[in-house]
Structure 1
């Protein structure tokens, strides 16, 4: 009898459960019919074939003992639809809803309030939009709320303050604006909060100091302003505080020194002022201290030696002064030391050689002086040693050869003297050797030619090296850039350069090289820049038998040599990279974009001034054959080079007329044909060259009317002086005058003139002309739009060597520009990207 009773009870329960589960199954199927991809194979089990167990046996569905849907976990299930037809009221027993990493769009319906038992809600990694509905604040059992990586807008609802059981809150990577609600301070059980990568404004609520269980607080890359509340010093369980890339200001509160559990403190890229609080030295567990790009001042506290767990220390881009404390040598676990772009003075303390874990040292753009200590050779793990733009003196630190893992060695723009020792070639891992703009002397070590298979950049420009260029360049090397400009090197260009198959930049200008043009380099498939200006090279440019010379060449500067013969028509016919305009700006803006620690440089001499490009725009194309002895006519084939920006053929012996096909150079900005023997009229067709900002036809034998209209209405008298047969605006001679022409002004061979380029123009007129269409101007505009705050683009310096080049090494914990914050977030330190709660 008892058995029969139990059987009846079980049967009744089954019927009751079946009657409650069937509406839920139907509700899920109704939602499924709204999907764009209804044939999703992962949902093939969603059928009503078994009304007793459906939907409890379906993919992603779990039920309780009464066959009510308890968990719905459809993460990474290729769902493509909305929540508009999801019947929330049918799932009042639901405790777990996981829909992350799908393609669900639209808003969160306010009916979500029916899920009153929900403890876990994860909608991350979708395309949700609209506001976060305040009804979520009614889900008072929630412990985990993840809304990150969507497109939510508006403010964070204050109603979230009702979720007193909440432990994990993520709303990062959205488009949220407004203020962070102070009501979040009521969520005393919160352990993890991430609201980064949004547009939050206003202050950090002081009520967050109530969250004494909080372990991680991510507020980086917003528009937050005001100070860091001292109340955050109450967060004694906090391990990570990240507020970088905001508009926060004021002083760093000393109360942060109370957070003894802190491992990561990232407050860089703000507007903090004042000194570093000495109280931060109490953070004995701290591994990352990043205060870069603020307005901090004072000295670096020597008490930081107490931070024995420190791995990364970044003080870059501030106003710190004084010396680098010798006590930092006690930080035996430190791997990255960034103190560049400050006002630090004094010597590098020899104690830094005790920091055996150091991998990266950046001390760029300070006023450090003295000799680089030999103790640097003790840093056997060192890979990046970047000290350019300081006042270091003395000899090359030979002990650096002990740092066998060294990849980047940059000592440029200092006052180092003496020879470069042979031992530098022991650095087999070296990729960049930049010793430019120092006072090094002596003969170049021959081993630099067969340095290693890893070397990509060899920059020894602006020194006093003499003797021959190494002739030992091996096959299969990785050399990408060779810059020996402005030394006293002699002899011929070594033929072994033909082995440098990856070479992009060859800059041997302003030396004492002799011999003929190294025609064999026209076979190098990646070569884009050839600068041989200011040497004693001679002969013609017709020795090559290569049918496709210089396939990628964009910059050719052979000026101020002794080349003879006709212009190289064969080259003009094959400069493929100068024949097409590439409007794609999605790639690198500058050459060498993948070399973060080095940028190629280019110098134009403009009537006694040096126009120095700190980076070479990828759209920059130029041919400068001025101050040579070329003769013959100007070939028509140059009209094929339709992407050419600058053309300088001045100070030669060219004859004949200006070819009409020159008009096809629609992007040409500067044309200098001065001091030749050219005749005929200036073609009217040149008026169509709308980018032309500067021209110089002076000191020739041109005659007839000067074209009117277009850019020709902007050129001044000195563009035409020395051509007595020319008439019309802007000259005072009218074309109706019947004056007897005087004998032509003889062409001067002025080899002492640094350049005929822009001859007769003041720099002011050149700058005015550039406003009409300069590629440099376009580059600046594009850079400011794309990257935010560029620190430099172009610099004009005197003929004397100056040492103000600015290069900014990347800080490994953050992105490098506010305008690019959504594109650069992958550079955030691993503690952000690896957050798993």
Structure 2
């Protein structure tokens, strides 16, 4: 009985003391108000599978987490939701990479979740959402991540209240470029608790606060690509816990103080305006793995031994400063063996002995230095199998025979003095740049074994022979650039339908035959430049079906016939540059082509920064005629728009539809047989900079509407049948006589003293006759000298003309320049085997 009583008493004690404790450990179910709030928040958003694609790049899983949210399950078991086990309040909401789109405003039910400790809304599409001050009311919040959420999302000014959250440990607002703000001038409440601050790629401005010394726990500070300026406080470089500091892409200036924090692992100060010496205290940062001081204004000598003690260093970049890299003690083993990426572009490097110890190099950039001659054999013995990227461009190397290229994926040897035949890279090569050297010989067929090749740049060499037919079969090839060589034969006839070709540049070779229609298979083509060859074909009408084509240059060939394109379909939807000059195209100007050029009819007002064709590896370049000059565009602005149909056999009228090309920068219809009036609609070309209608048979008056072209910097209407008064306006008052020469009927400034009420037509005619008679003796002698120059050599003729100028009237100089332009033009025409369609008026000369 006693034992039984004792057992019952023990069970009673268990019920009294243990059961309450046991029941409290059971997770509390979700509160009804919390689930209702979450569902209300869900209804304000929708799911778009195309959103959150950036998550793939960072290895984050993307899927619609809110799809699991429904009342049939406890809200604490929903995807992305974590509740407090004791109270049932939602304390953690992780909706990163959830493919959500919609707007989050100050009335959002999200702000009713007042017990949140962690909130992650990253990698979504909250387009048009302001960042609400109510984010600063989550008093328990320790982690806030709104990065990559298109708050253009997240736009407006960051509320200062966010910086005063007392328990905040992580704040990530990165990659919301419409979000602006500045650091609070008063001490943050969260400064003592903050461990990670990421404001990269927003638009923060102003200085760094002087109280950064209060951030005793901060480990990760990323302020990349903002508008911050001033000096970098020395206190920041002494923070005891700081491991990673990224301040690149700002406007910091002044000298960089010594580093005093031994915890630093990652330093990125790239692309600022920092000055002075590179701090020698770097050699004390024993844990450093990454150091990027490139694209600043550091100066003086930097001894390579400065980095010899950094045993964990794997990335070092000092490129593009004003420093000179030296090895003062001539020590052989000066770089840590751990080094994998080394960038020393434009560092006055002349010798590379310091590479002996770097046995694990994968990426090496020694471009824009003073390396000469042949690269020594020993330099590559340790890196034969590890090197993946080799950049030695813009040096004075003459031979690369010793360089093992078998495993290298990126090879950049541009702008050296390399001689001999084209080297054969390994089959793993993806990017191969060897332009602007002295290479000779033919392109080997083995080049087609590079099945991974994306960029092949052989431009500006002396390569001969034919282009291998098999290049059109490389699926991954995006850029094929062989311009300015001596290649002959015909173009490759076959380009596969799976082609990735984006840029095709064979400008200035000796290619003959037709333009292969199989290029129509290359749906990614943006740039086609086949100018300055000997191609004999009609206009490639099929090229209009290329959906991404922006640049088409066929100048200086033997192309002929009329230009007609289909009126049906979306032809040339993105074409912005078309150059068909110096061919034998005939007939009327191609109105059917003009009707399709949609990209020339709109000006994109949304683009704030200049954009160029190409990518980080390859920049498209072309040669065009503008403002009376032949100009090479080493990079092509996407806003640059050109129509050049000059030096052909076009006839008929200039169509009024050309006035619709309001994005046009250059218009050149010169040296044709165009007639009729200049359409007043051309006055709508508000951004046109170069306008050339010279050497045609245009008649009538110059439209007054052209005087409104405020961007016009070059005008040539010479050698037509124009008459009447020259319009006066802001730009027209800046043009010289040559812009109107050869038009006897034109009056007004600058060809005469007045128009209408100023000087009568009779007086003008009489004064012109008197001037002509007074100079007739000179022009007789001039043309004798000119013809001597044309027959026996232009230099001799120019010498005679120079003598005549030095002893004659200085006012003759302008006329001589006009005459010389005419002579050079006739000479060029004769050289090309065409008579041309020019007229010379004796009464003008």
State TM-score, norm by structure 2: 0.69
Q: What CA distance in whole angstroms lies between the structure 2 residues aligned with 1:490 and 1:384?
A: 32
Are the aligned partners of 1:491 and 1:514 in contact in 2 as well (CA < 8 Å)? yes
CA gap of 1:110–1:728, structure 2 versus 1, over 3 A, is: closer
Q: What CA distance in whole angstroms lies between the structure 2 residues aligned with 1:370 and 1:422?
A: 24
Matches of residues 247-646 of structure 1 in structure 2 within 5 Å?
247-277=273-303, 278-299=305-326, 306-316=335-345, 318=346, 320-328=347-355, 330-354=357-381, 355=383, 356-364=385-393, 366-371=394-399, 373-376=400-403, 378-388=404-414, 390-400=415-425, 403-438=426-461, 440-447=462-469, 449-514=471-536, 516-535=538-557, 537=558, 539-542=560-563, 550-563=572-585, 565-577=586-598, 580-586=601-607, 589-590=610-611, 592-594=613-615, 596-604=617-625, 609-646=629-666
Q: What CA distance in whole angstroms lies between the structure 2 residues aligned with 1:160 and 1:261?
A: 31
2:219 corresponds in structure 1 to: 192
Q: Which has the higher contact order (CA 8 A, sep 6+)?
A: 1
2:699 corresponds in structure 1 to: 679
Counting matched residue pairs gives: 705
Deviations 1:520-573 (A, max 9, x none): 5455444333322223x154225767856645433222222334x323334444
Matches of residues 121-140 of structure 1 in structure 2 within 5 Å?
121-125=142-146, 129-131=158-160
Q: What CA distance in whole angstroms lies between the structure 1 residues aligned with 2:187 and 2:677?
A: 78
Structure 1 position 300, deviation (Å): 7.1
1:146 corresponds in structure 2 to: 170
Structure 1 position 394, deviation (Å): 0.4
Structure 1 position 485, deviation (Å): 1.6
Q: What CA distance in whole angstroms lies between the structure 2 residues aligned with 1:111 and 1:573?
A: 59
Deviations 1:71-116 (A, max 9, x none): 943454999769999999x99xxxx93344489842687996xx8x
Q: What CA distance in whole angstroms lies between the structure 1 residues aligned with 2:745 and 2:187?
A: 81
CA gap of 1:410–1:577, structure 2 versus 1, over 3 A, is: farther
Q: What CA distance in whole angstroms lies between the structure 2 residues aligned with 1:718 and 1:181?
A: 62
Structure 1 position 39, deviation (Å): 9.9
Q: Secondary structure at the match of 2:307?
A: helix
Deviations 1:319-357 (A, max 9, x none): x11325155265342222223344555544444544222
Q: What CA distance in whole angstroms lies between the structure 1 residues aligned with 2:720 and 2:81?
A: 85
Q: What CA distance in whole angstroms lies between the structure 1 residues aligned with 2:286 and 2:13?
A: 61
Matches of residues 53-132 of structure 1 in structure 2 within 5 Å?
60-62=82-84, 72-76=91-95, 97-101=117-121, 105-106=132-133, 121-125=142-146, 129-131=158-160
1:737 corresponds in structure 2 to: 761
1:719 corresponds in structure 2 to: 739
Structure 1 position 404, deviation (Å): 1.0
Structure 1 position 245, deviation (Å): 4.4
Are the aligned partners of 2:256 and 2:274 in contact in 1 as well (CA < 8 Å)? yes
Q: Secondary structure at the match of 1:392?
A: coil
CA gap of 1:230–1:624, structure 2 versus 1, over 3 A, is: closer
Where do 5+ consecutive residues of structure 2 fail to align? 1-7, 46-65, 123-128, 148-153, 773-785, 795-812, 818-827, 829-845
CA gap of 1:579–1:214, structure 2 versus 1, over 3 A, is: closer
CA gap of 1:107–1:154, structure 2 versus 1, over 3 A, is: farther
Q: What CA distance in whole angstroms lies between the structure 1 residues aligned with 2:243 and 2:132?
A: 32
Q: What CA distance in whole angstroms lies between the structure 2 residues aligned with 1:122 and 1:381?
A: 44
Q: What CA distance in whole angstroms lies between the structure 1 residues aligned with 2:215 and 2:496?
A: 69
Structure 1 position 582, deviation (Å): 3.8
Please report the RMSD computed on the Cα atoms of aligned residues, expressed in angstroms.
5.1
Structure 1 position 145, deviation (Å): 1.8
Q: What CA distance in whole angstroms lies between the structure 1 residues aligned with 2:621 and 2:318?
A: 30
CA gap of 1:146–1:222, structure 2 versus 1, over 3 A, is: farther
CA gap of 1:87–1:625, structure 2 versus 1, over 3 A, is: closer
Q: What CA distance in whole angstroms lies between the structure 2 residues aligned with 1:156 and 1:222?
A: 20
Q: What CA distance in whole angstroms lies between the structure 1 residues aligned with 2:624 and 2:507?
A: 10
CA gap of 1:207–1:405, structure 2 versus 1, over 3 A, is: closer
Q: Secondary structure at the match of 2:342?
A: strand
